[in-house]
Amino acid sequence: MISFKSLFKRFWWMFFIFFLVVVSIAIFLYSKKGEEITKEVQKIGDSAYSNKLPDCPKDLSELLTVSMVDVEYIASLTPLGNSNPPSHTFPVDHVYFQGYGEKGDWPRMPFYTPGDSIVSWVMQEKAYDADGNHIHTSYAIDFNLCKGVKVVAAGETELMPQLQRVIDDTKPECKSSEGKHDGQATITQCVYNIEYKSKAGEQIAWTGGDDIPEVWAFNYNIEPDKNVDWERYNYGDYAYAFCMFDLYSGDLRDTLYSKFGTYTFKKYDEKKLEEREEIIFVPRTIDPICGSTHQNIYGTAQGDWFASDTGGNDNPEFAGDGLSLIHDNIDPRIGKMVIGGNFAEVGIITFNPTSSGTINREFSHIKLGDTIYCYQQEEDVDFGRYFDGIVVLQLVDEHNLKIERQIGDCSEDMSFINPFSYER
């Protein structure tokens, strides 16, 4: 006969096991829900201080009222969508400031908060040479303007005392990696999560010398293009990028927009007696003047492609894993094939797109089918990084593309020998 004590023990253990199961299920559901909430928080740009940010107005064009650096220092603004493989195989999602003169000769410039905002994140990057000597320090700062909209600026060289004091009182999260630029053996990046209210026009840092700002803008309130598999990029902000300068209005916006373009060297002969070089400004004249980051057109060849045998990439700034079939960010009439590696060496082919035939055909005209198209560099088209040979490609279906680099010149009748595959 089972004693009362034995029954009590059995009941207690059954209750304990039941309790553990219930708690485990609750923890699992809560963690899954928490994971979903975390993703949603990141998606809308929410944070612990979100209730301190105003709701975003329908018209965002007056959120910024001050140029980040004095306008007289700005020689040009590089539109969105710049290409520089392999580090920028896909169109970049930020705008570069360019100063007058060569890098390193830029003057020390005040850096201003562009609009009333909360600074919630500062990243300090220190670079070291092969002997471990410190050679450079720069900063990146984000400015939260309203719920779901922020801008980020990198290229500050020194923080002003009021912000530096906040940084000094904050424990950072740091990591080290290989250097990104010439002379850098290693870099250390330290992130400071803070809450600093800043008014438009406040000088918050210095810039200049070897640095000048490059700027991002993100609107987490928009719905990204559903035809694009954004998870492939593994860079959550990329789908929400837009032109920061659309947050300005009035005369200041017009002045800043007049800076979009590039400075280049024009070589010419004068009566065949001497060759001279002249620096000229080439403006972007085709809308959108600020450029565009996302050029994917579903159902055509235009846009970003991933090497299918490498499983995607870590982020849009990568080596050897991407292919971009787009238009130039200075003159969008020019077609541009940006090659990160794989089937050919890193490079860019630029050309004047054709509206018929199979040679240098406009990427957005290429639909799925058996037709093979051929691309080659045109001598009279600028903005290329040339290599010998041609490239042939075929859009197999909406998600798959075959491509191959060959020698010789393009003809209307091309075929593959050993093609490489990309997908999206």
**Residue 82's CATH number:** 2.70.70
pLDDT value for 386: 61
Q: Please indicate, yes or no, whether residues 87 and 170 belong to a single structural domain of this protein.
A: yes
pLDDT value for 272: 42
Q: Please indicate, yes or no, whether residues 31 and 146 belong to a single structural domain of this protein.
A: no
Q: Where are the beta strands (DSSP E) in 285-377?
A: 303-307, 322-327, 335-339, 347-351, 373-375
pLDDT value for 40: 34
Q: Which two tokens stand for residue 320?
A: 């050897």
pLDDT value for 311: 46
- Determine, yes or no, domain membership for 376: yes
CA distance 204 to 184: 27
What is the domain count for the chain? 3
Computed over every residue of the chain, the mean pLDDT equals 84
Question: Helix (H) and strand (E) counts for the chain?
Answer: 3, 20
Q: Please indicate, yes or no, whether residues 238 and 98 belong to a single structural domain of this protein.
A: yes
Q: Please indicate, yes or no, whether residues 119 and 31 belong to a single structural domain of this protein.
A: no
Q: Please indicate, yes or no, whether residues 333 and 394 belong to a single structural domain of this protein.
A: yes
Share of the chain above pLDDT 70, in %: 80
The range of the structural domain enclosing residue 416 comes to 303-423
Q: E strand or H helix at 176, and its extent?
A: strand 173-178
For the stretch 27-49, pLDDT in tens is 443 343 333 322 333 333 445 56
Place of tokens 């860079």: 235
CA distance 64 to 58: 14
How confident is the chain (424 residues) per 10-residue block, as mean pLDDT?
Answer: 49 50 42 33 47 92 97 96 89 94 86 97 93 91 95 96 97 87 84 96 95 95 90 86 98 98 65 55 96 94 82 49 93 94 90 96 97 92 70 96 95 94 92
- Determine, yes or no, domain membership for 26: yes
Q: What is the pTM of this model?
A: 0.83
CA distance 412 to 357: 7
Q: Please indicate, yes or no, whether residues 119 and 82 belong to a single structural domain of this protein.
A: yes
What is the torsion angle, in degrees rounded to the nearest 10, for the CA atoms of residue 95, residue 97, residue 98 and residue 104? -120
Q: Please indicate, yes or no, whether residues 228 and 318 belong to a single structural domain of this protein.
A: no
Q: Please indicate, yes or no, whether residues 324 and 249 belong to a single structural domain of this protein.
A: no
Q: Which two tokens stand for residue 198?
A: 């800043």
Q: Which two tokens stand for residue 132?
A: 């471990």
Q: Please indicate, yes or no, whether residues 122 and 232 belong to a single structural domain of this protein.
A: yes
